[in-house]
Structure 1
Amino acid sequence: MSTALERFSINQMTVKQLSMPELVEACVALEIGNVGLWREPVQSYGVEATAKLVRDAGLTVTTLCRGGFFTAIDPEERARALADNRRAVDEAATLGTDTLVLVSGGLPPGSKDLHGARERIADALAELGPYAERHGVRLAIEPLHPMYASDRCVVSTLTQALDLAERFPAHQVGVTVDTYHIWWDDTAPEQIARAGAGGRIHTFQLADWTTPLPEGVLNGRGQIGDGSIDMREWKGYVEAAGYTGPIEVELFNEELWARDGREVLAETAQRFVRNVIS
């Protein structure tokens, strides 16, 4: 593996047009040793089959995305969510990753109670954390940009994520630091230091912020170097906080998905070296 790519991890969503075997083959060809996986394509290919595929190729699975969606009020919905998250933990353990990324969930239909939704996340973590620990898996709460608060994630800042995580042991619950979601927040560097001091930076992800955002905004994460975020600066923050682990590039981008996935993967690795490492 190239030294420059030693910490680089390609999140599967960046090149979702590649099948699981195609992704693994492309990573091996480009000497990329780390990959972050998503549950849906893993389940489609088969959890055990995926685990064998990446293991035989010598790849390390850095994270599994995603668990979460804990904010339902209805008891049956909450029970289904917890059961699904236990399955996600099982899948992460089978794949050999120690980190399950959590998108916590938005407001239930008709609700305006952000505080109540966040408390239900804490209730779910209290049940899921010990289960994850028994399987050697850490839960990484990912704060999402505030534009997602209503329908996707009521945890919008690292402060909010850490306030939840710190109710539990660090080896059970920590946070995901994703540049796309927190770059605007001038308190984020201080909170990264707080997370590092507590051993709670469980994964670090990169995506750039480009404007104008596309309609729907979900698939607007820009290629590294195309937008407003100084990636070296944020790498500096997490490293100053003690993080030395893999750095995932996770891009939701319709234009990238319309291209040849191998070309996108090679380009993303090059952009990582140019804008993060060099």
Structure 2
Amino acid sequence: MRMMRVGERGRERPVVEVDGQHYDASGAVADYGLDFWADGPARLAEAARAGTLPATSVEGERVGAALPRGGALICIGMNYAAHAAESGSAPPERPIIFLKSPATLAGPDDEVTIPRGSTKTDWEVELGVVIGREATNLGPQDDALAHVAGYVLANDLSERTFQIEESGGQWSKGKCCRGFLPLGPWVATADEVDPTGLRLRSWVNGEPRQDSSTADMVFSVADLVRDLSRYMTLEPGDLILTGTPEGVALSGRFPYLAPGDVVELEIDGLGRQRQSYRSGE
């Protein structure tokens, strides 16, 4: 099952897709907020099978961020060995963690504003993991993936001057500009996705940039859920961004984004995004 939010910004309605048909879920749930993820996907799937959700169309509608504001936005850095190498670093021995702010959430096809004065805005295609069951201090014997409700396509946009040169030692400065997390178009439930071998790709102005697989992750989704749970309580509705593969502008092989550029991103089974970029001046 796929869950998406469509409509004007701030007025999105929940929609589910089952076997290619879209259903209006607004009569069953208010939104895909924090109180939804523990048992909401199962309830919606049952309602769709029972025929109690009205069929709808999303043709021509804006697709909003796949998640509303509310949960933690937890990000992992340098989680693909080749990306670490192109950034001039060795693969980390432990997961690197930073955070994004709620204002970064945006629809997958929303226009992105390059921050004022920025010359190093960068793209990052990533697999997002939505937590469905609380996870605290998981051990090796615990099934970490049992705490995952679904998966989603994300663009973890970065401003590299803010992130590296002006960071003060913490990456979040370069990750938290408004609209710097296009998310969606949908969350696919965990039973429909094998996170161990998904192909991730990105393009800028139609030219290939990233083309890799989650099989190249340094730390798997299960590793990340287990590790993070040692340092924080992961709650239903939290989002983990699992890192990006090689092929970003930080590598020095490609120019950074400029006004008028178009970025497209795709992950197997999780849909496609397309953003145009404008100046923040």
Tell me the TM-score range normalised by the shorter chain. Answer: under 0.3
Query: What TM-score, normalized by structure 2, do the two folds share?
Result: 0.25
Q: Which structure has greater helix proportion?
A: 1
Q: Which structure has greater strand proportion?
A: 2
Query: What TM-score, normalized by structure 1, do the two folds share?
Result: 0.25
Considering Cα pairs closer than 8 Å and 6+ residues apart, tell me whether 1 or 2 has the greater RCO: 2
